Amino acid sequence: MSIKLDGKAVSARIKEDLRERVARLKEQGVVPGLGTLLVGSDPGSVKYVAGKHADCEEVGIRSIKRELPENATFEQIAQAVRELNDDPECTGFIVQMPLPKGVDSNAIIGMIDPAKDADGMHPYNLGELVLHVRGDVITPMPCTPRGIIELLKAYGIDLNGKEVCVLGRGITVGRTIGLLLASRGVNATVTLCHTGTKDVRDHMRRADVIVAAMGVAGFVKPEDVKEGAVLVDVGVSRVFDEEAGRYRIKGDIDKDCRERCGAYTPNPGGVGPMTRAMLLANVVEAAERGLPAGM
């Protein structure tokens, strides 16, 4: 039988560790703080940000909320970023995406203090991943790729020498996870597939691990999966269920693939909780790095 890689269970253990580390920081007069900048009232974004602050309360991290209206200008958003950069109570923060149309998201991300980049997506921090081939990175790392690797480690899945097929070249997962997977500490061989890949299904069939991050519901079929492969489902699509008469969340990997694979991440309940846990870890680690030497 295939093994379910339970992100909820693993993230709960990570949160318990973070709770203890936060308590030790507080004994030294340091309270980690997570800031969020939400522009507009997109329901998905509002829910996502609320979940972040619920996580903060769970482990003892201070919540710092900044909200702007949908019609906020670039300069107003930039000013909010500068304020979070300067706020001593803010250990790390995120700018919730997407931003309103017409606002240069990359320019806004570039304004974040790299040391406070809780998402690990600032160009400086991404550059550190490129430079540190050995994997000895001390800057914030991208949350979802880091969460995926931590989840696989928690179940004793060794990626050394394994063939990993990554589906999708988005910056959040596809273009960043390869940097972590190919580091010497992980030592996997990575193939990045995208819309220009001629025979993507041939690549999938040869892979020991498939990381699907396309946002195309049920793209990976059982016939695409090598017997015993590990399946990591990152994509999220809202698909209308005719029988139930409502929308459901569906991943990129068809559930029937579980009959062939060795291990799989449920969706939801797999990668998502790990992403949230890694965001908290980035905030706590930033606070720990800020301690004076010897403390």
Distance in angstroms (rounded) separating the CA atoms of residues 288 and 79: 27
226 carries an active-site annotation: no
168 is in an annotated binding site: yes
96 is catalytic: yes
Q: Cβ distance 120 to 275 under 8 Å?
A: no
The side-by-side arrangement of strands in the sheet containing 62-68 is 62-68, 33-39, 92-95
Catalytic residue among 96, 224, 250, 254: 96
Report the distance separating Cα 109 and Cα 78, nearest Å.
9
Q: Is 169 annotated as a binding residue?
A: yes
Which alpha helices (H) appear in 119-230, and where do they start and end?
123-131, 143-154, 174-181, 200-206
Is the torsion defined by CA of 40, 46, 52, 56 positive or negative? positive
Is position 52 annotated as part of the catalytic site?
A: yes
Strand, helix or coil at 103?
Answer: coil
Q: Which of these is catalytic: 52, 116, 162, 226?
A: 52
Q: Which of 119, 208, 224, 233 is catalytic?
A: 119
* Residues annotated in a binding site: 168-170, 236
Which residues are catalytically annotated? 52, 96, 119
* Residues annotated in a binding site for NADP(+): 168-170, 236
